[in-house]
Amino acid sequence: MQIKNRIKELRQVKASELLPNPRNWRRHPAGQADALRGALAEIGYADALIAYETPDGLMLIDGHLRAETTPDMEVPVLITDLDEGEANRLLLTLDPLSAMAETDQEIFRDLMRDVDFESSAVRDMVESLLDIEYIAGNGAKAEILLDQAIQLKPQREYIVVMCDTAEEFVELQNRLELKMVRRGGYKKTAKSPDEIGVERVITAERLLNACRNSK
């Protein structure tokens, strides 16, 4: 299989001059925007946005939130030679391919032992990927005391929402602010990773509040 290199050049472009792609299907909740601002403040730009050339200017394929976050800054942009159809294919597959990756919790915890963040939003984002424990900046382990998951009760009305893709579940997790909880009747200091996970049952009041806040 012969693989083409579709990158024409790396160019510094003022972010506000980049055209947002009208077919961008990703929505960015406040928590993600806060985490991005924190990461940019602590690290800066170490990755490039992706765009393709149109008669109206450079159209974004990837990097919409970064462009919105730093509109007055010149940002690194990979300029591709893609046409509109090819750009749409990349737009549709870029994030889902990344989301298919799984987390090796042991390596992830080891990495966390060596890293600390000033931004609470970045810390919250990273901690959400941990199964059980938060590794403090000094290398010491501290167990997270997780809330008990809400249990389904008989004689109660409920609905079930099925996600067809991992991306849909991640978006729901962000919009509903789903947290890590202890499932079943486990004690707070549970040691096994399969005893906890993202909460799957929430109250109708919480769902309705999320719907009202999104308007």
Task: Give tens-digit pLDDT for 175-202.
Answer: 888 877 765 544 444 444 445 677 778 8
Whether 64 has a pLDDT exceeding 50, the answer reads yes
**pLDDT score of 21:** 97
- Report if pTM > 0.75: no
* pLDDT tens digit sequence for 14-55: 999 999 999 999 888 888 999 999 999 999 999 999 999 999
Question: Average pLDDT of 94-110?
Answer: 83
- The mean predicted confidence, pLDDT, of the chain is 82
Are 8 and 80 a contacting pair, CB within 8 Å? yes
Question: Average pLDDT of 64-87?
Answer: 98
Question: Average pLDDT of 120-130?
Answer: 80
Q: What percent of the chain has pLDDT over 70?
A: 80
Domain ranges of the chain: 7-99, 102-144, 146-215
Query: Could you give phi then psi for residue 17, rounded to 5 degrees?
Result: -85, -10
- Distance, CA of 168 to CA of 172 (rounded, Å): 6
Beta bridge partners of 53: 58
**pLDDT score of 51:** 98
- Distance, CA of 87 to CA of 61 (rounded, Å): 7
Tokens of 79: 């300029």
**pLDDT score of 144:** 46
**pLDDT score of 174:** 83
* pLDDT tens digit sequence for 49-61: 999 999 999 999 9
Neighbours of 87 (CB within 10 A): 22
Q: Where are the beta strands (DSSP E) in the chain?
A: 7-14, 49-54, 57-62, 74-80, 133-135, 141-143, 180-182, 196-198
CATH value of 7-99 in 3.40.47.10, 3.40.228.10, 3.90.1530.10, 3.40.50.300: 3.90.1530.10
